[in-house]
Amino acid sequence: MRVWFALCAFVFLITGCTSDGGGSEFVGGPGPTVSVPSDDDGMGASSSAAATEPEEAAVPTSTTTSTTVSPLDLDGLTLTLEPLVTLQRPVAVAADPQSGSLFFAEQARQVVRLDDAGASSMLDFRGELSSGNEQGLLGVAFSPDGSQLFTHHTDPSGDNVILRFDMVDGAPDPSTQLMVIRIPQMRSNHNGGHLAFGPDGNLWIGLGDGGGGGDPGEHGQNPATLLGSMLRIAPTDDGYAIPASNPFASGGDGAAEVVMWGLRNPWRYSFDPATGDLWIGDVGQDRREEVNVLRAADGTGIGANLGWNQMEGLDTYRQGVEPADHHPPILDYAQTDGRCSVTGGEVYRGSAIPRLRGAYVFGDYCTGEIFAIDSALDEPELVRMNITVPEVTSFGVDAAGELLVLSRAGDVQRIVG
């Protein structure tokens, strides 16, 4: 039992599960020593597992989920990890389009810039964050031209807050801070927290269902709430506007900001730089983990219903009924053999690992396994890569398009061939 609680030390952050049938939550204390001065705080929660559902078969090390064979030659591909820096609870990364410097979100503290001179603090959020369970500084993103930096955090009241800062001489200027949007939260878990600008130039904001096991607020299937949804907004000088193609931009039964719904806790999503496809890792309740893809050729999921809380992966949840408009995941896998929480990744379009080009690379937080699938296929083969990253919290790309992987233990590494 002690080993299990140790393993679940950070599961709370990405699973957002609760003791009312939601899997595992974080139990932890101060993080590792870092290269930037810090004073970390501990966070605590509980762990439990539901026993009312039949157990599923685990995903094998390398398996085919359909008769379709991936044209990518991934089997036997050997990858290695190149250490870049040690930070404190890094959970998100973005590359500055102007300088190529990397900006990281440290969950309990600050934004850190990494460049040739080393790591340095850019924005200190201590005193402005809620720090329980899945809360904190959770996301960073640059505007497409690099002139502005956006951050996503939970404030002392627990609400999700998006801030904008102008970039001046390669650094965000605190005096230019503007609150873009605040989203009231129900509980301390399922905050989502990621940010990404799409090929359309709009800001996409992923939000969990408001917390609690099983979506007690019934937010997932209610697009009138911002929770359990993907939002899409157009930042303006004084806040944001609503893109005209949002499904409820002109009214109807949903919030104007909502572009898709049916999410439980979207823990990392990204756009394929070659195709514009949107990839989302959505954390499951207590049985299935899922990966969704919204193809740009099909409208990038505008108006899509991803299923929660009627669906968990490809299965109906409890006594749920599959919605008629359900957009099913491209794959799901069982929470067995230690797997319990998907960490969404990136489609690799770099040049250093030719055999990996075109693969969507993602992981599982609890086992640290790194997986890859052919992003071009609708029924891809799932391949477990040879590398393991304990407590993997996020993926990203550097200015050259090479893959980065972040660990709650503090390691920031580049994936190399």
Q: How far apart (Å, rounded) are the C-alpha atoms in residues 265 and 268?
A: 9
Within 10 A of 380 (CB to CB), how many other CB atoms are there? 25
Closest CA to 341 of 53, 60, 14: 14
Average pLDDT, the chain: 87
CA 255 and chain centroid, separation: 22
Give the integer Cα–Cα distance in Å for 183 and 327.
Answer: 25
Is residue 158 left, alpha or beta, with left meaning phi > 0 and alpha meaning psi from -120 to 50? left
Helix (H) or strand (E) segment spanning residue 196: strand 195-197
CA distances from 182 to 14, 111, 129, 138, 224 (A): 21, 19, 13, 14, 16
Helix (H, G, I), strand (E, B) or coil at 155: coil
Q: How far is CA 93 from CA 13, 221, 275, 406, in A?
A: 16, 30, 21, 8
Which range (30-34, 135-139, 217-221, 365-369) has the least confidence?
30-34
Whole-angstrom distance between the N-terminal and C-terminal Cα of the chain?
37
Distances in Å between the Cα of 168 and the Cα atoms of 165, 178, 197, 398 are 9, 15, 20, 21
- Using one digit for the tens of pLDDT, what is the confidence trace for 70-91? 678 898 999 999 999 999 999 9
pTM above 0.85, yes or no: yes
The better pLDDT of the pair 408, 13 is held by 408
Residue-wise pLDDT for 349-369, tens only, equals 999 999 999 999 999 999 999
344: pLDDT strictly greater than 60: yes
Radius of gyration for the chain, computed over Cα atoms and rounded to the nearest angstrom: 19
pLDDT over 80 at 221, yes or no: yes
Whose CA is closest to 284, among 330, 315, 248?
315
Q: Which residue has the tokens 């800062």?
A: 165
Q: 203 Cβ partners below 8 Å, 6+ apart?
A: 141, 150, 162, 180, 195, 196, 197, 232, 233, 234, 235, 240
pLDDT of residue 61: 38
Q: What angle do CA 216, 133, 23 make, to 5 degrees?
A: 55
pLDDT tens, 245-289?
999 999 999 999 999 999 999 999 999 999 999 999 999 999 999
For residues 383 and 372, is the Cβ–Cβ distance under 8 A? yes
Six-digit token pair at 1?
A: 């039992």
The whole-number pLDDT of residue 60 equals 37
For residue 345, the surrounding DSSP H or E stretch is strand 342-347
pLDDT value at position 71?
A: 78
Q: What is the pLDDT of residue 357?
A: 97
3-state secondary structure 304-343: EECCCCCEECCEECCCCCCCCCECCCCEEEECCCCCCCEE
Q: Which domains does the chain have, with CATH numbers?
A: 85-416 (2.120.10.30)
Over residues 299-326, the pLDDT tens digits come to 999 999 999 999 999 999 999 999 999 9
pLDDT digits 0-9 by tens, 183-205: 999 899 999 999 999 999 999 99
Nearest Cα to 9, choosing from 35, 43, 38, 39?
43
What lies within 8 Å, CB to CB, of 147 at 6+ separation is 98, 166, 167
The pairing of beta strand 392-397 with beta strand 195-197? unpaired
Q: What is the pLDDT of residues 138-168, one digit of tens each?
A: 999 999 999 999 999 999 999 999 999 999 9
